[in-house]
Amino acid sequence: MGYGRLGKPDPGETSGRVIIPNPNPRNSKIKIMLISATVLLIASAIAVAVLIGVRHKAGNRIDKPSQAMARTCSRTLYPSLCLNSLINYPGANSASDSDLVHISVNLTLQRFGKGLYKASDINNLQMNTQIRSAYDDCLELLEESVDLLSHSLNSVFSGDGDSPTGSTQDVMTWLSAALTNHDTCTDGFANVTGNVKDHISENLKDLSELVSNALAIYAAANGDDDFSRIPIQNRRRRLMEFETHHDEFPKWMSRRDRKLMNKSVSAIQADIIVAKDGSGTVKTIAEAIKKVPEKSNHRTIIYVKAGR
Ligand SMILES: *[C@@H]1O[C@H](CO)[C@@H](O)[C@H](O)[C@H]1NC(C)=O
Ligand SMILES: *[C@@H]1O[C@H](CO)[C@@H](O)[C@H](O)[C@H]1NC(C)=O
Ligand SMILES: *[C@@H]1O[C@H](CO)[C@@H](O)[C@H](O)[C@H]1NC(C)=O
């Protein structure tokens, strides 16, 4: 004996204190091991199934965007950027055409916010005056763009009971202004090289294309493939409401743009002239926007003739 005994053996009463030893104690261990092996197998089978499911889904999402997404992105100037940004956006895959409008504005807003945040990382860096001025202008312009985009989002998607904060024209104006801001920021760095410029370009990559896409999607959703419906007169007046400076230009407009806008029409030397009556280069603003080169080292100026 001396096996399977519990406690100290009592020399007097050996038999009463002895517990029948397990005939084969290893057996139960094997059983337990078998059971856990089975549990493990089932668990990993489930895990594999889930993984395959996820992979499959992810594969689908990359190969096959939803029809609404494909339709929506086909209206933009940068359809593959449009698809890629929507595919990674939570909920976009099951979104309707109309949901994709506010989703595209929202994702643009999020990206601008992130760009601004990352760009301001290097605010404390030593910079020469030219770079500092370009950098400060950029941050300011980005902040304004974030504002403009969130105004736009509020108008495109207002919560229950809230009335939209802006009209269709307002939203188009705000989105175009965000686009202009971005170009102005990039222009400021035109003649410089170095870390600051690289950091800015890295973090603001695709932003102008994203706004352009959001604008096209929004315009199309409002039955407006033709940007020329935005009367330039109203546009001017509306912009004035942002005014805080004492000249006649809105606050968000950069110094360089103010100077440009202050020139007489003949001094501007527009690259593209929009005139409904056919006396310009093109008839609609939409056509003009399509004519703007994607990569250019100078700003393309579109002059929209008054009168409709
Ligand atoms: C915009 O996106 C953010 C973050 O994904 C989300 O919390 C918010 O509800 C969205 N807003 C609208 C109006 O879709
Ligand atoms: C960059 O250089 C060109 C030619 O030297 C000049 O016309 C342009 O105004 C400069 N841009 C900036 C932002 O300094
Ligand atoms: C616009 O032009 C007028 C004169 O033509 C000038 O007095 C004014 O300072 C200019 N404003 C800006 C913002 O350049």
Closest to 253 (Cα-Cα) out of 235, 265, 266, 271: 235
Which ligand 1 atom is at minimum distance from the Cα of 90? 5
Please identify, among 222, 243, 275, the residue that sits at the C-terminal boundary of a domain. 222
215 with 103, same domain: the answer is yes
pLDDT at 270 over 80: no
147 with 291, same domain: the answer is no
71 with 182, same domain: the answer is yes
| Alpha-carbon span 174 to 169, nearest angstrom | 9
Please identify, among 200, 222, 244, the residue that sits at the C-terminal boundary of a domain. 222
Residues of the chain with pLDDT > 70, as a percent, come to 55
In a domain, 163, yes or no: yes
72 with 184, same domain: the answer is yes
Return the residue whose CA atom lies nearest to atom 4 of ligand 2. 191
Return the residue whose CA atom lies nearest to atom 14 of ligand 2. 191
Stated pTM of the model: 0.56
For residue 197, the ligand closest to its alpha carbon is 2
| Alpha-carbon span 204 to 211, nearest angstrom | 12
For residue 259, the ligand closest to its alpha carbon is 3
- Which among 244, 256, 262 is the best mutation to test ligand 3's pocket, defined by most ligand atoms within 8 Å of the CB? 262
Which ligand 3 atom is at minimum distance from the Cα of 247? 13
In a domain, 129, yes or no: yes
In a domain, 21, yes or no: no
* 155 close to ligand 1 (CB < 6 Angstrom): no
In a domain, 88, yes or no: yes
211 with 75, same domain: the answer is yes
261 with 116, same domain: the answer is no
In a domain, 238, yes or no: no
In a domain, 240, yes or no: no
102 with 149, same domain: the answer is yes
* 65 close to ligand 2 (CB < 6 Angstrom): no
Which ligand 3 atom is at minimum distance from the Cα of 262? 1
138 with 214, same domain: the answer is yes
Please identify, among 207, 222, 237, the residue that sits at the C-terminal boundary of a domain. 222
* 191 close to ligand 2 (CB < 6 Angstrom): yes
Q: How far is the CA of 95 from the centre of ligand 1 (A)?
A: 13
| Alpha-carbon span 38 to 41, nearest angstrom | 5
| Alpha-carbon span 164 to 39, nearest angstrom | 55
Residue 146 vs residue 273, higher pLDDT: 146
Return the residue whose CA atom lies nearest to atom 1 of ligand 2. 191
List all residues 6 or more positions away from 167 whose beta carbon is below 8 Å from its beta carbon: 155
**Domain containing residue 291:** 255-306
104 with 171, same domain: the answer is yes
Residue 31 vs residue 308, higher pLDDT: 31
In a domain, 241, yes or no: no
Q: How far is the CA of 126 from the centre of ligand 1 (A)?
A: 36
218 with 72, same domain: the answer is yes
217 with 292, same domain: the answer is no
| Alpha-carbon span 55 to 158, nearest angstrom | 35
138 with 259, same domain: the answer is no
Q: State the total domains in the chain.
A: 2
Site residues for ligand 3, CB cut-off 6 Å: 247, 258-259, 262
pLDDT at 110 over 50: yes
pLDDT digits (tens, 9 = 90+) for 140-159: 999 999 999 999 999 888 66
In a domain, 235, yes or no: no
Residue with tokens 């494909």: 70
**Interval 5-18 mean pLDDT:** 47
